[in-house]
Amino acid sequence: MDCGFVLLPAGAAAARLIVCEPSGRWAVALRGQLCATAPRVYETRSLADCWQMLAEAPASFVVVELTAGNAVALLQRMARLQRDFPLARVAVVAERSLADYEWLLREAGAAHFLCSPRQCGPLADLALGHLAQAPPPPRSLTEQTWAGLPWARQS
CATH number at residue 128: 3.40.50.2300
pTM of the model: 0.86
Q: Is residue 139 part of a domain?
A: no
Of the chain, the end-to-end C-alpha distance in Å amounts to: 40
CB neighbours of residue 124 within 10 Å: 19
Q: Is residue 51 part of a domain?
A: yes
Our count of domains for the chain comes to 1
Per-residue pLDDT of the chain (155 residues; tens, 9 = 90+): 344 555 677 778 999 999 999 999 999 999 999 988 889 999 999 999 999 999 999 999 999 999 999 999 999 999 999 999 999 999 999 999 999 999 999 999 999 999 999 999 999 999 999 999 998 877 777 877 877 788 755 54
- Domain span at residue 92 reads 17-134
Q: Is residue 151 part of a domain?
A: no
Contact assessment for residue 58 and residue 16, using Cβ atoms and an 8 Å cutoff: no
